[in-house]
Amino acid sequence: MELGSGLLHLAGYPFEVRYSDGSLARARVAADIAADAFGYFRHLFSCVEPDIAIIVAAEGDWRSRQPYGLPFFNDAAGQIRPGIVVIPAGAGDFWTAIVRDLRYESPRGYARLLATYPDGAGGLDLQSFFDLVTIHELAHAFEVLGDLRLPTFWLSEIFANLALHAFIAARQPGSLGTLEVLSTVGAGSRRLSGRMRAEGFSTLEELEEHYTGGDHPMSPLNYAWYQYRWQRLAARVFDVDGEEGLVRLWDCFHGADRFVPGDVTTASLAALLRVEVSGTLGRAVRRWR
């Protein structure tokens, strides 16, 4: 059975919304956020309107190689819509692992997390942060279904993070703290960075090779560490270039193959980004390690 096909419907949005029994409140939050971002991206991105479903799934309805708690976009054939944005209805082991990792590797940062994402009982609740990740996955829907031909996986992730940051900064600036504190703590932990570089993957080339599997698949926590860094990069790019940097990134690759398949390198892509999109982005890609 296709993911979402047996779930409940929520009407009144510019896309289909499905949700697990007992998850109506979470579905409304996710759908409201996605609807605002849908209109914002449609305006920025060539009036594209991807045909999607937002699916808010409880753990028992989760069908993915992604761990429960990690939202994702999928455009596989045979789904209920050409694209689906799948959001967890609540916390899972992945959220618990993130919290445990940062509590151990960044005790000072953990205190900041407690102040930003309190659960009301002295612990952490990352729900408000992952509500915003809905926008990141929606950006992937615009990318994939809107013919944005990004030549690497990591540039796709940078695009989605820049789109997320731009929307929050432009339309919901009061949520910037919710968006930024987790990535600031995660990217700023020297102990976490040292562990990832010693035990996991850290370069863009390594991510390209190992994220999707192979003989040595990347761990979810290793991937989360990349996401912390990409979110901080997106903030820097937006601070310098604003929405124009995001639009230039879209225009640079929309409907156009800028590289022959198999010929793209980090250096060549960094040079193109520096000239046609953002000097800040191009330099960061060139210096990434």
**Backbone dihedral region for residue 258 (phi beyond 0: left; psi -120 to 50: alpha; all else: beta):** alpha
Q: What share of the chain has pLDDT > 90, as a percent? A: 91
Tokens linked to 91: 């916390």
Residue 160 in this model has a pLDDT that exceeds 90: yes
Of 64 and 180, which is predicted with more confidence? 180
For residues 35 and 249, what is the distance between their CA atoms, to the nearest angstrom? 23
Choice among 152-161, 254-263, 269-278 with the minimum mean pLDDT:
254-263
Query: What was the pLDDT predicted at 263?
Result: 86
pLDDT at 4 over 90: no
DSSP string, 153-219: HHHHHHHHHHHHHHHHHHH-GGGHHHHHHHHHHHHH-HHHHHHHHHHS--SHHHHHHHTT-SSSPPP
Residue 252 carries which side chain, given as an amino acid letter? C
- The pTM for the full model equals 0.96
Percent of the chain with pLDDT over 70: 99
Residue 2: pLDDT above 90?
no
Domains in the chain (CATH in brackets) are 1-91+132-146 (3.30.2010), 92-125+147-289 (no CATH)
